[in-house]
């Protein structure tokens, strides 16, 4: 439900007639190239901190960090479907414009880079997920996912690491 409310807030901050965000230029980190999550992730790119000027479009760490902090239990979701476990990162993709990268490690494996789709800065909702962005999940053998470590690097280069159980809830 919080996603819906925050999306409505973001939609109300539409760009002005010249394409610029109201009262500010839209500043955001160039997102890594969009890639399907089913392929192995490439090596991590060198990261640089981005300016943190709030635009009202949720494209900076300053804007998305409070949202992700309040919705930690929604970062990942594990679902058994079609004879396999599906590990979803839809929520993180929904706030990706303020992120530099996301890494996930399943069942104690070293976290690997999961590519994020590009932000749609020319759209009213730059964080929207389009069909051409790919699917925000990877598949695993049925019942195999027991624990998921998530490392989020924001575009200001601050980091947050959480570990989740199969039920998607953060572990203490």
Q: What residue spans define the domains of the chain?
A: 2-165
The pairing of beta strand 84-88 with beta strand 112-114: unpaired
**pLDDT reported for residue 121:** 85
For residues 140 and 28, what is the distance between their CA atoms, to the nearest angstrom? 33
**pLDDT reported for residue 51:** 61
**pLDDT reported for residue 39:** 44
Regions of the chain short of the pLDDT cut 70: 1-45, 48-52, 56-57, 172
**pLDDT reported for residue 19:** 43
Residue 100 three-state SS: strand
The model carries a pTM of 0.69
**pLDDT reported for residue 49:** 59
- CB-based contact 147:163 (threshold 8 Å): yes
């Amino acid at each position: 439900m919080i996603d819906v409310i925050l999306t409505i807030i973001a939609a109300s901050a539409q760009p002005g007639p010249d394409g610029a965000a109201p009262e500010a230029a839209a500043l955001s980190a160039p997102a890594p190239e969009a890639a399907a999550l089913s392929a192995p992730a490439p090596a991590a790119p060198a990261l640089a901190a981005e300016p943190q000027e709030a635009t009202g479009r949720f494209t900076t760490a300053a804007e998305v960090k409070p949202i992700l902090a309040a919705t930690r239990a929604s970062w990942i979701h594990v679902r058994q479907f079609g004879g396999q476990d599906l590990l979803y990162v839809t929520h993180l993709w929904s706030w990706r414009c303020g992120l530099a990268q996301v890494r996930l490690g399943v069942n104690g494996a070293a976290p690997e880079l999961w590519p994020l789709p590009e932000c749609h800065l020319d759209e009213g909702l730059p964080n929207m997920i389009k069909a051409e962005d790919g699917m925000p999940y990877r598949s695993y053998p049925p019942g195999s996912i027991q624990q998921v470590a998530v490392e989020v690097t924001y575009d200001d280069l601050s980091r947050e690491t959480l570990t989740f159980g199969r039920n998607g809830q953060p572990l203490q």
